[in-house]
Structure 1
Amino acid sequence: MVNVLIVGATGDLGTALVNRYAQTGKKVYATYLNGKPDKDPPKNVEYIPEIDVTQPNAAGTISLKFLDTRIDLLVICTGVFYTETLDALNWENELRMYKVNAMGPLFLIKSLRAFPHLIEDNVTKIVLLSGEVGSIALRADAASGGNYGGHASKAALNMVGKLLSIDMKPKGIPVVLVHTGYLTKTLPDGSKNLCKDHPDSIGAREAAEALYNWIDMELDMTKTGQLWAIRGTAGIRTAAAVLGQVDEPQAPRQLPW
């Protein structure tokens, strides 16, 4: 049976990914720190609680669930984003974003490799949820400033993914970064944040379906070390200014760093 590990599985996208992979019959291991998992998950879904990617014991806890099997697909979709302006920066929020968004995935993958049976050469695939917000090239004048930690921590994640791909390439393990599009968020009061600045925003279920299909049909060593907009450039306000005319804005496209 194919084993899928989804790290950060109780956010909107994480939950949708768990449900999508569960439908295929694959064994799904789903970690979470906050949020509430499904109280009655399918038999092929196993939740792993209290996994904080910023803590060194995360990989050890996960490894206990993989005593005699490997991780075929690792999807890390943990992330935090605090809004900020130049006049209202928050030191602790900035540190939190760098730790969760960039440092956490790196140290988790490094620690998982300490268990040789988990990350298998020429088999395991690694997907890091990043975003066009981490692309320096796409921060054209048409883009707004601010949100320094959110953008810069994702840019750091992009560099982490690129360097990881170089280290993993001899082992036949692809490492890719993906932009799933702008997601409609569930707010604490249960309402929906429709991402008014991005009219092409989509729900988590639609994003999960697109990501599932892209991984299934497109992800191989030819994509390693790249940043991909799996639903195309629709909604990326600076796409035309930076990339030129896009004939098929809904088609998957590699994004510049």
Structure 2
Amino acid sequence: MTSNVLIVGATRGLGASLATLYTQRPDHHVVGTTRAANSPATPDINWLVGIDASKPDVGEMITSGAKNLKFSTVIISAGYFGFETFDTPDWDKQVQMYTTSAIGPVFIVHHLVKAGLLGEGGKVILVSSEGGSITLRHEKEGGGNFGHHASKAALNMVGKLLSLDLKQKGIAVGLVHPGFMRTEMTKSVGFDKYWDIGGAVTPYEAAKTLASFIDGFDISKTGEFWAPRGPGDIGTAEDVLGKGLPTPLQLPW
């Protein structure tokens, strides 16, 4: 039996690597979204074009494009990181981060469930970040990047609330920190200088670990926040949580 997997934000970084990985599984059919008006040249993926997670119609656009496909797994990987400091807060960057990270997923999941495209036994994986954990914020990393951290904290709350709404429907909702990755997104905000010291991995390495975690994720873990790769790339993990932490690691809010 073929499992349909929807990856929102499948053209770059983690999303692209997940899409590639799932197409290599013969029992999986991959549907990916792109903001572009034309489909990328990857015929093994069924592309939904013109999908922007920061727009009010994102849910309708996805359900309309997906037609009657029923999804076993929905991974929302779309994201945006606008760099800020206390001296240079940016209103427009923050609005885009909040809408993409924490508002869009509500409407995507709502429309998929209401259209009957996501039901009992289904999984929703929301790609968050350890940066959204208030507990893990520590003075050694300082402040700044308000929109990034706070939008991920908001996404964590959204995921928790969705898990409560959908548990009776048999739909599991998970929040994940996929790991510190060597992507254009982290490079664009200057974090490439931390790649080596921070243990950053390629998106494909992160995707393999995440896909394995998703395989074992079920309703017993719904509403929980996990780091499938463990504490290794979380700079404040030992300072806050202590040593000898397990992998995968359940993260605090």
Per the TM superposition, whether the score is higher than 0.5 is: yes
Instruction: Determine if contact 1:133/1:154 at 8 Å carries over to the other structure.
Output: yes
Residues 96-175 of structure 1: pairs in structure 2 closer than 5 A? 96-115=96-115, 117-121=116-120, 123-175=121-173
Residues 104-253 of structure 1: pairs in structure 2 closer than 5 A? 104-115=104-115, 117-121=116-120, 123-186=121-184, 194-196=192-194, 198-216=197-215, 218-248=216-246, 251-253=247-249
Q: What amino acid maps onto 1:230 in structure 2?
A: P
Equivalent-residue separation in structure 1 for 2:187 and 2:129 (angstroms): 26
SS state at 1:19 partner = helix
Equivalent-residue separation in structure 2 for 1:236 and 1:223 (angstroms): 21
State yes or no: 1:77 paired with 2:97: no
Task: State the partner residue of 2:29.
Answer: 27
Superposition CA RMSD, Å:
2.2
Q: CA deviation at 1:88?
A: 0.6
- Percent sequence identity is 39
State yes or no: 1:255 paired with 2:245: no
Deviations 1:102-151 (A, max 9, x none): 11111221122221x20112x21100000100000000222221000100
Q: What amino acid maps onto 1:94 in structure 2?
A: Q
Q: CA deviation at 1:8?
A: 0.4
Q: CA deviation at 1:170?
A: 1.0
Q: CA deviation at 1:187?
A: 6.9
Between structures 1 and 2, the one with greater helix share: 2
- Count residues in correspondence: 249
Task: State the partner residue of 2:12.
Answer: 11
Deviations 1:152-205 (A, max 9, x none): 000000000011111111111110100011000137999x96351653100011
Shift >6 Å, 4+ stretches: 187-190
Equivalent-residue separation in structure 2 for 1:221 and 1:195 (angstroms): 39
Equivalent-residue separation in structure 2 for 1:158 and 1:110 (angstroms): 16
Residues 37, 242 of structure 1: CA spacing in aligned structure 2 closer, same or farther, 3 A cutoff?
Answer: farther
Equivalent-residue separation in structure 1 for 2:38 and 2:203 (angstroms): 16
Q: CA deviation at 1:246?
A: 2.1
State yes or no: 1:86 paired with 2:86: yes
Unpaired segments ≥5 residues, structure 2:
none
Unpaired segments ≥5 residues, structure 1:
none
Residues 37, 211 of structure 1: CA spacing in aligned structure 2 closer, same or farther, 3 A cutoff?
Answer: farther
Residues 213, 154 of structure 1: CA spacing in aligned structure 2 closer, same or farther, 3 A cutoff?
Answer: same
Q: TM-score, normalised by structure 2?
A: 0.91
Residues 86, 110 of structure 1: CA spacing in aligned structure 2 closer, same or farther, 3 A cutoff?
Answer: same
